[in-house]
Amino acid sequence: MGTGRHVPKLQHGGTLMKNRLTDLNDHLFAQLERLSEEGISAEQIDQEVTRADAMVKVADKIIGNASMALKACDLLATHGDRFRKHLPMISAPEDPDFSK
């Protein structure tokens, strides 16, 4: 289905949305830097903590999804195509071998 290359997607407003785990890591470290800024008000700290909590919840889901995909790839590498039809995340539906 895919070409194997990363294709950036546009967010609402036309800005580029980054979808790689390295981008997630960058966002999390940027949030950590915002939390550690000196001289921000208590209200700003509260806002950043709320934002950080939301980011961590989403990041946990993204990491869990990536972990599951990696486990599926490992299963395929270890056991061959025997389980491939049960792993749609690594097999494209238009793949002629998909229904086997």
Is there a domain that residue 81 lies in? yes
Is there a domain that residue 100 lies in? no
Are 43 and 51 spatial neighbours (Cβ–Cβ below 8 Å)? no
**64 or 82, higher pLDDT:** 64
Is there a domain that residue 3 lies in? no
Is there a domain that residue 98 lies in? no
The helix (H) or strand (E) run that includes residue 13 is none
Is there a domain that residue 21 lies in? yes
Looking at residue 92, its pLDDT comes to 55
**Lowest mean pLDDT segment, chosen from 11-20, 29-38, 47-56, 91-100:** 91-100
Instruction: State the total domains in the chain.
Output: 1
Are 84 and 90 spatial neighbours (Cβ–Cβ below 8 Å)? yes
Is there a domain that residue 2 lies in? no
> Over the chain, what is the mean pLDDT?
79
Is there a domain that residue 96 lies in? no
Looking at residue 10, its pLDDT comes to 47
Looking at residue 81, its pLDDT comes to 76
